[in-house]
Amino acid sequence: MSSQSDAQKMLYKRLELPSTSDAIHKVEALIEEIAQDLDVKEDVYGNIMVAVTEAVNNSIIHGNKQDESKKVFVDIAMRHPYRLTIQVTDEGPGFNPESLPDPTAPENIENIGGRGVFLMRHLSDELSFHDDGKTAQMIFNI
């Protein structure tokens, strides 16, 4: 077995972040490190970076309401070969992702609400929400 396969099987990282805008830099640095370690293609790396930073930003702003006493947790794992799973969890009340308006509908073009989840859905290979919307789980085929 190659060393990359071994690294992929054993990959698990967790970040615990305060609900501040500065936290985004820590997430970006971790994604960059993992993308280099796993030799992720540039377009997939870009998708991961945008989707995960959107999820963290949503958790900070909408989930935790920028309450610095509340945390955002980012869990990154390689559970299957070539499938990177990233979960972003906040300590907020949760939300119903089905209740978000379609940002591409003509009546919503001027509204900014729902764009982050829209991006996450389109940039990841799979997106699901758990724990009443407090956890966003994204899977990327790398």
Instruction: Identify any residues that bridge with 89 across adjacent strands, giving them in sequence order.
Output: 73, 135
Dist CA 136 CA 131 (whole Å): 9
Q: What pLDDT does residue 8 have?
A: 47
Give the burial string for 103-141 (b: 16+ CB within 10 Å, else e). beeeebeeeeebbbbbbbbebbeebebeeebbbbbbbbe
HEC profile for the chain?
Answer: CCHHHHHHHHCEEEEEEECCCCHHHHHHHHHHHHHHHHCCCHHHHHHHHHHHHHHHHHHHHHHCCCCCCCEEEEEEEEEECCEEEEEEEECCCCCCHHHCCCCCCHHHCCCCCCHHHHHHHHHCCEEEEECCCCEEEEEEEC
pTM: 0.89
pLDDT per residue as tens digits for the range 1-36? 444 445 445 689 999 999 999 999 999 999 999 999
Q: What pLDDT does residue 10 have?
A: 67
Domain ranges in the chain are 3-141
Q: Is the pLDDT of residue 69 over 90?
A: yes
C-alpha 129: how far from its chain's center?
Answer: 11
Assigned CATH for 3-141:
3.30.565.10
Q: What pLDDT does residue 80 have?
A: 82
